[in-house]
A and B are shown apart, each in its own frame.
Chain A
C-alpha cells in the first residue's frame, strides 16, 4: 500500500525553486534591459520630437520672420525705428507719393528707368569718360535719375539687404551722385553710417579680393557691388551666439570668410570665396532662438533654433540650424538646412508694410 503524497519531495522542491529562480532572474534581467531600452528610446524620442519641433520652428521662422519683427508685438519690432537702415520700416511712411512706380516697386525691365547706366569696367580716373552724364541722382530726366535714386532710397531706408531684396536681380548696385560725377563720399552711405571711417570703400580696398573701387579723386567709376556679401544675422556654426557675437558679425567692417563647420570664428583670417560680411541690416537684432520645453525637467535635452538670412553675389540664402544638447552627456546634435521661403519683401507684405 502506497502512502499518498501530500507534498513535493525535497528534490522536486529544489528543482522547482531552482527553475523558478532562473526564470525570475531571467525575467528580471529582461525586464531591466527592457526598462533601460524604453528609457533610452523615450529619450531618443524626446530628442527626435525636439528635432522635429526645431525644424518646424526653423521653417516657420524662415517663412514668417517673426524673430526679426513680430507683427503682434510692437516691442518686438526693433527694425522699424532705428535712425538708419530699417528693413521693416513701412515703406510709404514719409515717402514721396503713394505710387508704386515712384517707389520702384513694380518697374519692369522694359522700362528705361530700370536700365543701369554706368561705366562697365573698373577703372581709375576719367579716362573712359564721365558716366554720370548718363544717370545720376538729381538728373533732370526721370529715366536717368530713377534707378540711382531708388538705390539710394532703399539703401537709406531699408538698408543693404532691403536694397538688394527690392531692386531688380540683375542690378549693379552703384550710382553716381551730383552734377560732376561721384562725390568722394558717395558710397560711404552704403556702410556703417555712424562711422565714416569704416565705409565700404575702406573695406573694399582692404579686402584685396578683386572687388574694390576708388575713393578720392573724381570721377568714380563703377562700384561692382554685385558681390554684396553675406548679410548675416547669426554667427557661425561652432560659435556660441551672444548678442555681442552677432553684432560683431553683422557690424564688422572687414570681410570675413564664411567658416567651415567646426571652425572657430576668427576675424582677419584669410579670405576665401569672398564670403564677406559687411552688413548693418540686422544690427542690434537678437538671434532667433527658441528653447523648447522651458518647463521641462532639467535633465531633458534642450533645443535651439537659429535662422540666418544673407545675400551673397546678389543671391539670397536662408539657412536654419537646429541644435539639440543633452545636459547629461553634453552631446550636441546639429541639423542645418536651407530652404526657399519668404523673402524680406514677402515678409513685409505679410505685415502690410508696403501699403
Chain B
C-alpha cells in the first residue's frame, strides 16, 4: 500500500493562507484609507460650495432676477440687498419697485410668493426668514458662452536667438480666448446660437455631489448667534446677512424629508425616508454666515489685476483666457464666519 502524506500540500496551503491574509489586511487598510480620503474629498467639495454660495449672493444682488409674467421670464436688474441708492431693503428694480409682492424684510408668516411669482408654499428666499434657496450643483456639458480651455493660442516659437524677429516670435494671430464651439465666421448664426445656449445637460458624473443653500437671516436669527464657547453673541442685524450651508452629498440640499415631500420629490429618493436619512448621515455640511456689502472692492492701479500671490499665479495670469477682473461688481462681503454650531434656521 502506498502511503502519501500531504506535507507539500499543507505547506503550500499554509503559505497561501498567509499571503491571502496579508492581502486582505492590505485591502482593508486601503479601504480605510479610501474612506478617510472620502471625508477630505467631501470637505473640499463642501468648501467649493462656499464660494458658489457667496457668488450666488453677489450675482443675485445686482444681476437681478428673472420675473415671470405671462409665461415669459424677463430678467430685471436689481440694486443690491441693501439698495445703494437709498438704503432700502432689496432686491428692487431700477425704478425702486420691490421685486417681490411685499417687503422682503417682512416676517416669514406673511404669505409670500416666490420671487418669480409662481411659488405659493409660504415665504421663499430672498424674503428674510423665508425658505432657503436650495442649489444642487452639477457641471453642464457645455455652459452658455463657454470658452475653450486651450492654454496658449499663440505660443511663442522656440527661437532663443530671435532670428525670426520679435514680430514673428510674439504674435497674436489667434483670438484669445475662443468659444468652445466651432464657429465658421462672424455670420455663423447657428454657431452663435449654440455658443449662446450651450449644452446645459448635466454631466452625470457630476450629479449629486454637492449643493448649497442660502438663507436670509432675521433679527431673531442674528440674536441667536453663538460664539465658539457656546455663549449667545448677537450679530448686528442687517437685511444683507445670509446663512450659507455648504453640503457634499446626495441629498440635493434638502434639509428634511418634509421638504422633500413639500416639493413632491420623493421619487428622487425612492420614496424612502430611511434612504434619505442614510444619505444625510453620509454627507458633509458646513455652516457659514456672511454679510454682503454694496461696496465694489478693487484696486486703483490695474483695471485687470494679476495680483494673486505666487502660489496662486496660475489663476490670474495676464493670459487673456485667465484674466480676472479686479472689481467686484456684485458687491463684496463685510465678513464671512464659519459657524461652530448648526443654526436653527438654514
Contact = CB atoms under 8 A, between A and B. Distances in A.
Contact of A313 (B39, B40, B326): B326
Nearest to B308: A317
Given A20-B8, A341-B338, A169 B296 contact: yes
Interface stretch (A40-48, A145-153, A281-289, A290-298): A40-48
Contacts of B338: 63-64, 341-342, 346, 350
Interface stretch (B82-90, B148-156, B192-200, B266-274): B82-90
B187 interface: no
A108 B87 contact: yes
Given A41-B29, A340-B47, A350-B227, A171 B295 contact: yes
A312 B311 contact: no
Contacts of B85: 110
B159 interface: no
Interface string A205-241: 0000011000000000000101100100000010000
B8 A16 contact: yes
B43 A315 contact: no
Contacts of B294: 108-110
B310 A106 contact: no
A24 interface: yes
Interface stretch (B94-102, B204-212, B247-255, B299-307): B299-307
Contacts of A64: 228, 338, 340
Nearest to A319: B311
A34 B7 CA distance: 24
A230 B312 CA distance: 14
A346 B336 contact: yes
A64 B341 CA distance: 12
A129 to B, nearest CB: 20
Interface residues of B, number: 72
Interface in B135-152: none
B337 A56 contact: no
A261 B311 CA distance: 7
A237 B300 contact: no
B213 to A, nearest CB: 17
Contacts of B7: 20
A236 B233 CA distance: 36
Contacts of B279: none
Interface in A56-86: 56, 59, 63-64, 71-72
B11 A23 contact: yes
B19 A31 contact: yes
Looking at A6, A258, A343, the one whose CB has the most chain B CB atoms below 10 A away is: A343
Contacts of A110: 82-87, 294
Nearest to A4: B1
Contacts of A341: 47, 50, 336, 338
B69 interface: no
A38 B326 contact: no
B299 A226 contact: yes
Interface residues of A, number: 81
Given A106-B238, A110-B84, A34 B22 contact: yes
Nearest to B327: A170
B236 A343 contact: no
Contacts of A258: 309-310
A264 interface: no
A172 interface: yes
A340 B309 contact: no
Given A347-B337, A350-B338, A49 B310 contact: no
A237 B328 CA distance: 30
B48 to A, nearest CB: 9
B126 to A, nearest CB: 17
B295 A109 contact: yes
Contacts of A196: none
Interface of B is mostly: mixed
B238 to A, nearest CB: 5
B15 A345 contact: no
B280 interface: no
B191 interface: no
B189 interface: no
A314 B309 contact: no
Contacts of B22: 31, 34-35, 38
Given A5-B2, A346-B337, A38 B299 contact: no
Given A227-B301, A343-B335, A350-B228, A336 B82 contact: no
Given A71-B227, A350-B337, A275 B293 contact: no
A55 B238 CA distance: 34
B36 interface: yes
Contacts of B23: 34
A169 B39 CA distance: 35
Interface in A168-207: 168-172
Instruction: Name which of B227, B233, B238, B311 has the most chain A CB atoms within 10 A of its CB.
Output: B311
A333 interface: no
A340 B50 contact: yes
Given A24-B11, A38-B25, A349 B296 contact: no
A342 B336 contact: yes
A224 B298 CA distance: 12
Contacts of B25: 38
Contact of A355 (B2, B233, B293, B299): B233
Given A23-B12, A351-B227, 4 more contacts: A48-B37, A56-B40, A64-B338, A169-B296
Q: Which 8 A-B pairs have the closest CB atoms?
A: A169-B297, A346-B337, A352-B233, A169-B332, A345-B335, A63-B338, A168-B295, A313-B299
11 contacts: A27-B19, A31-B22, A56-B43, A108-B82, A110-B84, A170-B298, A230-B309, A258-B309, A312-B309, A313-B326, A343-B336
